[in-house]
C-alpha cells in the first residue's frame, strides 16, 4: 500500500508543463498525453508492517491546453494495477485511480488538485483472502510567489485485515 501524494511519473509529467512567457505566446495548443512506465518498487508497507514489493505498469494520460497568455492546464488521470508482495508472504493487487487538474499561469504560479484512491485486496500465503487495505485523499497544491502550500482534505487509510 503506497501512501503518496504525487507519483514520480505524474511529477515528471508536470515538469513538461513549464509556462511560456507572453513573448513566446502562440495560439491555443491542445496536446494529448499518454505515458506508461513499468514500476518495480520496494517500500514500507502500511497496515501490514515490514515492506511491500510493487511491480507493474503505471499510466498517466490526459489533455494539456497551452494558452496564448503563457498559462497552461493539464487535466488527466493516473492509474495502475500493481502486483504486491508483502515481506510476510502475503500478496495482492494494488489498484490506483487518481484524477488531477494542474493550472499554471505565466510567471510560474501553479495550482493542482489531486483526488487519489487506491485499494489492495490482500491474500495470505495460501491464497486465502485476508482483507482489504484502502487509501483515499483529496489534495490541493499551490505554488505562488515563491511559496509552496499543500492542503490535504479527507485523508483516510483503512486497514480491514
Separation CA 79–CA 121 (nearest Å): 16
Q: Is residue 153 part of a domain?
A: yes
Residue 2: predicted pLDDT? 44
Residue 7: predicted pLDDT? 56
Residue 10: predicted pLDDT? 53
Could you tell me the pTM of the whole model? 0.80
Residue 137: predicted pLDDT? 96
Q: Is 145 exposed, middle or buried (0-12, 13-18, 19+ CB in 10 A)?
A: exposed
Burial track 78-102 (b if 16+ CB lie within 10 A, e otherwise): bebebebbbeeebbbebbbebbbeb
Number of domains in the chain: 1
Q: Is residue 3 part of a domain?
A: no
Residue 112 in contact with residue 148, Cβ under 8 Å? no
Q: Is residue 62 part of a domain?
A: yes
Q: Is residue 147 part of a domain?
A: yes
Q: Is residue 127 part of a domain?
A: yes
Q: Is residue 2 part of a domain?
A: no
The whole domain housing 109 covers 8-18+28-160
Q: Is residue 89 part of a domain?
A: yes
pLDDT along the chain (161 residues), means of 10: 48 49 70 98 95 98 95 97 97 97 89 96 97 96 92 93 93
Amino acid at each position: 500500500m503506497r501512501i503518496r501524494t504525487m507519483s514520480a511519473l505524474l511529477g515528471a509529467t508536470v515538469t513538461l508543463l513549464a509556462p511560456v512567457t507572453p513573448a513566446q505566446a502562440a495560439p491555443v495548443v491542445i496536446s494529448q498525453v499518454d505515458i506508461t512506465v513499468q514500476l518495480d518498487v520496494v517500500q514500507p508497507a502500511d497496515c501490514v508492517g515490514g515492506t511491500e514489493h510493487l511491480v507493474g505498469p503505471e499510466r498517466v494520460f490526459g489533455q494539456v491546453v497551452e494558452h496564448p497568455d503563457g498559462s497552461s492546464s493539464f487535466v488527466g488521470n493516473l492509474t495502475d494495477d500493481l502486483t504486491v508482495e508483502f515481506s510476510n508472504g502475503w500478496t495482492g493487487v494494488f489498484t490506483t485511480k487518481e484524477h488531477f487538474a494542474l493550472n499554471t499561469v505565466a510567471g510560474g504560479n501553479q495550482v493542482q488538485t489531486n483526488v487519489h484512491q487506491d485499494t489492495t485486496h490482500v491474500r495470505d500465503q495460501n491464497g486465502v483472502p485476508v482483507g482489504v487495505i484502502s487509501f483515499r485523499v483529496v489534495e490541493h497544491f499551490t505554488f505562488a510567489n515563491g511559496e509552496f502550500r499543500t492542503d490535504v482534505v479527507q485523508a483516510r487509510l483503512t486497514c480491514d485485515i
